Structure 1
Amino acid sequence: MSEDLSIRVRNELYKRKMKHAELAQMLEISAPYLSDILNGKRTGPRAQEHVKHIKKILGIK
């Protein structure tokens, strides 16, 4: 995930007063795995699918 997108995700979570764990639960993944995606440590096809879902959930383009 690009740094810019990671920042936007974190800002959206803050605005919604939503925790990482809540977003992870919505995606049905673990919080550490979500953190790895946001920090660019996971970039494979499965992680990219999660990125699409994250964008959809948070309304990020």
Structure 2
Amino acid sequence: MDFKIKVRTALLEQNKSMKQLSEELGISQAYLSDIVNGNRKADHYRERIMNILKIN
């Protein structure tokens, strides 16, 4: 499954917003959106996103 779909599904299931996730990561919403949409290569943030949202 596509990373973007996994993240958006997990956010919906956990009733979290992109804003909340970006705050947990300490990055802007725009930067998070770029990572989720595959426009930025940031593997360390991808791993943190997966850990926070408990996705594999």
Question: What TM-score, normalized to structure 1?
Answer: 0.87
Match of 2:3, SS state, is helix
Instruction: Give unpaired runs (5+ residues) of structure 1.
Output: none
Alpha-carbon distance in 2 for matches of 1:41, 1:33: 9
Question: What TM-score, normalized to structure 2?
Answer: 0.94
Runs of 4+ aligned residues of structure 1 deviating over 4 Å after TM superposition are none
The equivalent residue for 2:9 is 11
Deviations 1:24-44 (A, max 9, x none): 00000000000000111101x
Task: Give aligned-pair identity as a percent.
Answer: 39
Paired residues in the alignment total 56
Report the aligned-residue RMSD: 1.0
